[in-house]
Amino acid sequence: MTSPQSAVLPDNSRHASFVTLTLKAGQDAANKLRAVAARVPALSDEIAALDTAAELLSAIAFSAEVWATLGLATRPAHLRGFPAMSGHGHDAPATAADALLYVRSARPDLNFMLTQAVLAELDGAVTVVEHIDGFRYLDSRDITGFVDGTENPEGDERAEVALVGDEDPDFAGGSYLHLMRFVHDMNKWNRQSVHHQEQVIGRTKTDDQELDDDIRPETAHISRVVIEEDGEELEVLRQSMPYGDTTRAGLMFAAFGRRPDNFERMLERMYRGELNGTYDHLLDFTRAETGNAFFVPARGFLERL
């Protein structure tokens, strides 16, 4: 299979940067974005060589809206906008972003060097919408204190879940990415008992064990996002990272998939649930402030832009 960009498949890094961009008007800006994007793998390799043990990884991705402006003859078969939705008093908004620069490694200084190098080459062509630096929290836990990503696919299954295959040969090795920034209400969360928190998540807090079906509520986060259809579990590859400072804290949720459908189904079950009110009660403690959908081309496709 065609090789993906380096940040898509490996396990989570210690530090990550998510930089969302909008493209300025005019064909010159589009041409510059296309030319610089083609150089991102080489720029990443150059900086990664400064400390190979830090494992600097990168990816650049494009939205459905900007794809046509890049002057490409074809487009990924399932590339579409973020599926904004509301339900039970909670919103999953679609927010503006034409491209994403995603950088991660064991060293935040190398992440900084690469983001600065790419943005310097893009000067005059893009506007930075948001730059969020995420970090590994404790033993891969969310800020809520629960382990995140327990159900992620492992080994060869990661590529099977995350990468486009021969069904769309021009874009094989690419991936559909959904990115959401959640802000947690930590004051409200920390007022809950551990028992109630475990009922909201659907797992034990200390040792990360999934609650048995007979005691796990249908409104638990696990109950909403673990979906089986025709005997198969619908999966995505999560590369989420906590972020935070003294004013806010939350999760940069990043889901890679072979198609966008699995993520969209999970989101619908979280927000809209069923008529009996079984939405995801984790949403009572966190709020989505951004929502974006991108396609992450394979490395070879990117270098040929």
What are the residue numbers of the active site? Answer: 148
Question: What are the beta bridge partners of residue 301?
Answer: none
Residue found under tokens 């491209």: 99
Q: Which residues of 231-255 are buried (b: 16+ CB within 10 A; e: fewer)?
A: eeebbbbbbbbbbbeeeebbbbbbb
Q: How long, in residues, is the chain?
A: 305
Under 8 Å between Cβ of 145 and 137: no
